[in-house]
């Protein structure tokens, strides 16, 4: 496995693979890798001949009061995990390599109808940071296929829209959410949980599963389902609930009773940790 810190060296490697007719898979990450990331890598391997993983904690997608400085940087152990998973190359650029003009950076911005709600409502500018860095990474890696997790469902929708609007020549694959045995969606931020918070955390998945079951059995009282779920999360011990929303999985707008596809999205807080989860329902 090769590790590249510069765009130039990464491009030389990719050019060599492409000249051999090999298909390139790409998994962008911010490092601090867990089994969820490795499941994305496995999926990329199934879709490609060579897999590149990027590790870059992207300052552009963190707000001023967010955890950019304290975000865990664990390159040595990440590298060992990627080697064991059979990754072909790691791209590990410094901030200057990605943003040579500092804050004077061209920004890729997907319309607010997708980015201004849900996560975007409480994290202004977050998705511009994500789409800008992902567009740059796509240009650097020149992958045929890129894998993103369903866990960050809105992020997936926003990137899908960017790829479509900019006609980027990359196929997107959405990887199912990797969970611990008790249902908690794997996330780098789970390590911030105390032992007692860790016991409460999987209840987010339980509550979203209850909402999904109600929708599947024909209940279309969206407001009531959302409010009951929020109350349940608070009585389960969450400190606050940012939202439980039932939305259309393409437009991310609130669901209509005629819809047959739903995304049930939930974000709740335990202390300083924000937990995200979702369930997708197709053709019910």
Binding site for ligand PAF (CB under 6 A): 28-30, 58, 61, 130, 133-134, 152, 155
Q: CB nearer to ligand PAF: give 147 or 281.
A: 147
The two tokens of residue 19 are 């000249």
Q: CB nearer to ligand PAF: give 68 or 243.
A: 68
Instruction: Give me the least distance between CB of 84 and ligand PAF, in Å please.
Output: 20
Instruction: Give me the least distance between CB of 162 and ligand PAF, in Å please.
Output: 12
Q: Is 37 a catalytic residue?
A: yes
Tokens 């940790």, residue located: 273
Q: CB nearer to ligand PAF: give 156 or 222.
A: 156
Catalytic residue among 34, 37, 101, 248: 37
Pairing mode of beta strands 240-247, 262-270: antiparallel
Instruction: Give me the least distance between CB of 266 and ligand PAF, in Å please.
Output: 18
Nearest to 261 by CA among 237, 278, 277, 240: 278
Residue 56 gets the label, from left (phi > 0), alpha (psi -120 to 50) or beta, of beta
DSSP output for 65-100 = TSSTTTS---HHHHHHHHHHHT-SEEE---HHHH-T
Instruction: Give me the least distance between CB of 172 and ligand PAF, in Å please.
Output: 12
Instruction: Give me the least distance between CB of 29 and ligand PAF, in Å please.
Output: 5
Q: CB nearer to ligand PAF: give 61 or 278.
A: 61
Residue 123 gets the label, from left (phi > 0), alpha (psi -120 to 50) or beta, of beta
Q: CB nearer to ligand PAF: give 61 or 79.
A: 61
> Would you tell me how many other CB atoms lie within 10 Å of the CB of residue 255?
21
Cβ distance 177 to 188 under 8 Å? no
Q: Which residues are catalytic?
A: 37
């Amino acid at each position: 496995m090769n590790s590249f810190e510069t765009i130039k060296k990464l491009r030389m490697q990719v050019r060599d693979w492409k000249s051999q007719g090999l298909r390139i898979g790409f998994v962008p990450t911010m490092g601090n890798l867990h089994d969820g990331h490795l499941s994305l890598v496995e999926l990329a391997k199934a879709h490609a001949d060579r897999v590149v993983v990027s590790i870059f904690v992207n300052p552009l997608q963190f707000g001023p009061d967010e955890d950019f400085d304290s975000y865990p940087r664990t390159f040595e152990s990440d590298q060992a995990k990627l080697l064991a998973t059979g990754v072909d190359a790691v791209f590990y650029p410094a901030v200057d390599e990605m943003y040579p003009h500092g804050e004077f950076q061209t920004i890729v911005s997907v319309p607010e109808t997708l980015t201004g709600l849900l996560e975007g409502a409480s994290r202004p500018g977050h998705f511009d940071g994500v789409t800008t860095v992902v567009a740059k990474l796509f240009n650097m890696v020149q992958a045929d296929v890129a894998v993103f997790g369903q866990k960050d469902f809105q992020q997936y929708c926003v990137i899908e829209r960017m790829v479509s609007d900019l006609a980027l020549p990359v196929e997107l694959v959405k990887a199912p959410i990797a969970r611990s045995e008790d249902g908690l969606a794997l996330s780098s931020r789970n390590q911030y949980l105390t032992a007692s918070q860790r016991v409460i955390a999987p209840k987010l998945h339980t509550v979203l599963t209850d909402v999904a079951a109600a929708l599947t059995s024909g209940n279309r009282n969206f407001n009531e389902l959302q409010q009951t779920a929020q109350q349940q999360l608070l009585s389960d011990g969450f400190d606050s609930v940012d939202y439980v929303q039932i939305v259309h999985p393409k437009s991310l707008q609130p669901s209509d009773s005629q819809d047959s596809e739903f995304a049930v999205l939930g974000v709740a807080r335990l202390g300083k940790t924000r937990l995200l989860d979702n369930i997708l329902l197709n053709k019910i």
